[in-house]
Amino acid sequence: MATQEFTLREARELYAERVKAETGVCPCCMRKVDVPNAYPLSSRHVGILDRVARINARGFEWARVQRSKRIADKDLARTVQDDDSYALRLLLWGLLISKGHRSGEYKISQAGLNFLAGTLAVPSIVYAIGKKVIRMAPTKLFVDEVRRVKIDKEFYDNYALSVVQLQMNMAGEK
């Protein structure tokens, strides 16, 4: 297999185009590249965190977070009906603790309590591949600042370019 020759600038531009097209293939070595997902903290995260904390405060050690509308009567008092992916993302910040893999049950961590109390600021965005945090944004937010944050459509529209910039910055740090 013949390899193509690229200048670094050409490789970066081609890579940016491929990431934007979501192919995630390095133009130099043609390996699949894991592109980190960006998870900005939003008011929806805070809402789930707050509801889990309230369930824990009512004496339930574990709160169940689920999408399904089918909730057993015995679990009704300890269930948060919402998108469980938001609870999973709160694990990346260390604000929730999971009972186990795919259990759907969570409790608030000490960091989560401090965040809700307004004594802890957390990164505004977490970059992760799977469950592994790759990088956190330097901007930190307190709970009152996050309660007003809605999902930013423009952020996601420009996401591919921000991923390329992040990876180029990370490559420059090594």
Per-residue pLDDT of the chain (174 residues; tens, 9 = 90+): 445 666 777 777 776 666 655 556 666 666 776 667 888 988 888 888 888 888 888 888 888 887 776 766 567 777 777 777 888 889 999 999 988 877 778 898 999 989 988 899 999 989 887 788 888 889 999 998 888 655 555 555 555 555 555 555 555 554
Provide the total of helices (H) and of strands (E) in the chain, helices listed first. Answer: 7, 9
Token pair in block for residue 89:
């993302």
Within 10 A of 165 (CB to CB), how many other CB atoms are there? 12
Whole-angstrom Cα distance, residue 174 to residue 32? 20
- Global pTM reads 0.65
Angstrom distance (rounded) from CA 50 to CA 116: 7
Give the span between the Cα atoms of 171 and 115, in whole angstroms: 32
Residue 79 β-bridge partners? 64
With tokens 């965190």, the residue in question is 49
Q: Pick from 77, 81, 72: which is nearest to 58 by CA? A: 77
- Specify whether the CB–CB gap between 137 and 152 falls below 8 A: no
Total residue length of the chain: 174
Three-class SS state of 81: strand
- Residue pair 96/115 in contact by the 8 Å Cβ criterion: no
